[in-house]
Amino acid sequence: DAEITALDGRFGFEAETTIKRSDFGIGFGIPMVSDEVKLKIAAGFYKN
Count, residues in the chain: 48
% of the chain with per-residue pLDDT over 70: 92
The span from the CA of 35 to the CA of 29, in Å, is 9
Of 1, 2, 34, 37, nearest in space to 19 by CA: 37
What is the overall mean pLDDT for the chain?
Answer: 87
Give this prediction's pTM.
0.62
Q: Which domain holds residue 11?
A: 2-46
Residue 35: DSSP 8-state: S
**What's the number of domains the chain is made of?**
1
Q: What is the pLDDT of residue 2?
A: 66
Taking alpha carbons only, the member of 12, 5, 1, 4 closest to residue 43 is 12
